[in-house]
Amino acid sequence: MSINRKNSAIGVFDSGLGGLTVVKELIHQLPSENIVYFGDTARVPYGTKSKETIIRFSQENTMVLLDYRVKMIVVACNSSSSYAISNLERTFNIPIIGVIGPGSQKAAENTKNGRVGVIATSATIASGKYDDTIRRIDKNIKVFSKACPMFVPLVEQGWIRKKVTEDIALEYLIELKNKNVDTLILGCTHYPLLKEVIQKVMGGKVSLIDSAETVAAQVRNILEKENITRTREEKPRHRFIVSDKPQNFKDIANTFLGYSIKDVILRK
Ligand code: DGL
């Protein structure tokens, strides 16, 4: 593997801003790596769209990242990961990782009572991908799923600690709470920002699984296996590209990433 390939960026895409929760974890676990992030802000949300549309958008996003000669692709969007991974793997000759496998693995390892909850967008829940993946890991685990479509707009509105958010969370989650799950997968890029309120509703004993952490660990494994880990000393470059409203992305990015972004590139 050439030095250049090692120095190439990790490409990450999401339907919009939410995938920055995955970038945050990548930066934390792989501080030397260059990263190119593409947020498809012109077409967000994906979580309400059909399988065919999500696959097409995911292919187009991958092509955007390939223009930047990325060395691997991280599909940060759960909705894309649910429907498009095998299609992308067939189409593109580059390591591709989604968020469903790592999150499922972590949940299966964590549960003690064999009862796992999954919350996500309508598209992700409808795909049944988390259920299938967890059952393939351990067929004795019972999976209980619930779509929480109002969580994404609440997070984008910045309503993270509002009373109304807690009321909505209770409405969505009471079903899973009554199923006595001991592990809950946050199966959407935005949900880690609602951890506090979700934990409050579910109770302190339920473990919340944020797939961003496990994804970053798997990215590290892939880089090592492929021998494409960046070894250069210079500061890495993190580039952010969106398909619409770069200023809006810049304004909200801090909430997801924990620091402000100076430049956001617009690509139509
Ligand atoms: N990124 C999406 C996901 O993780 C959430 C936002 C959307 O619906 O596009 O499923």
Q: Binning pLDDT at 50, 70 and 90, where does residue 2 land?
A: low
Q: Render pLDDT for 13-46 as a digit per residue (tens, 0 to 9).
A: 999 999 999 999 999 999 999 999 999 999 999 9
- 3-state SS string over the chain? CCHHHHHCCEEEEECCCCCHHHHHHHHHHCCCCCEEEEECCCCCCCCCCCHHHHHHHHHHHHHHHHCCCCCEEEECCHHHHHHHHHHHHHHCCCCEECCHHHHHHHHHHHCCCCEEEEEECHHHHHHCHHHHHHHHHCCCCEEEEEECCCHHHHHHCCCCCCHHHHHHHHHHHHHHHHCCCCEEEEECCCHHHHHHHHHHHHCCCCEEEEHHHHHHHHHHHHHHHCCCCCCCCCCCCEEEEECCCHHHHHHHHHHHHCCCCCCCEECC
Closest CA to 229 of 214, 239, 219: 219
Residue 219 CA, ligand 1 centroid: distance in Å: 20
Would you name the residues annotated as active-site residues? 77, 188
Q: Which two tokens stand for residue 169?
A: 């969370």
The pLDDT score that the predictor gives to residue 268 is 82
Cα separation, 55 vs 50, whole angstroms: 9
Averaged pLDDT, 227-247: 93
What are the residues whose beta carbons fall under 8 Å from the beta carbon of 254, sequence distance 6 or more?
Answer: 260, 261
Q: Render pLDDT for 126-184 as a digit per residue (tens, 0 to 9).
A: 999 999 999 999 999 999 999 999 999 999 888 999 999 999 999 999 999 999 999 99
The pLDDT score that the predictor gives to residue 50 is 96
Q: Render pLDDT for 176-207 as a digit per residue (tens, 0 to 9).
A: 999 999 999 999 999 999 999 999 999 999 99
Residue 230 CA, ligand 1 centroid: distance in Å: 29
* Contact between residue 216 and residue 22 where contact means Cβ atoms under 8 Å apart: yes
Q: Render pLDDT for 83-111 as a digit per residue (tens, 0 to 9).
A: 999 999 999 999 999 999 999 999 999 99
Phi, psi angles (nearest 5°) of residue 76: -75, -20
Instruction: Please give the number of the atom of ligand 1 that sits closest to the Cα of 48.
Output: 8
pTM confidence score? 0.95
Q: What is the CB < 6 Å shell around ligand 1?
A: 14-16, 18, 44-47, 77-79, 121, 124, 152, 188-190
What are the residues whose beta carbons fall under 8 Å from the beta carbon of 245, sequence distance 6 or more?
Answer: 41
| Mean pLDDT over each residue of the chain, to the nearest integer | 95
Instruction: Please give the number of the atom of ligand 1 that sits closest to the Cα of 121.
Output: 10
Cα separation, 157 vs 175, whole angstroms: 25
Instruction: Please give the number of the atom of ligand 1 that sits closest to the Cα of 188.
Output: 4
Of residues 62 and 256, which shows the higher confidence score? 62
Go through the domains of the chain in sequence order and give each one's CATH number.
3-98+213-266 (3.40.50.1860), 100-211 (3.40.50.1860)
Q: How many CA atoms lie within 13 A of 253 on its CB side?
A: 24
Residue 227 CA, ligand 1 centroid: distance in Å: 31
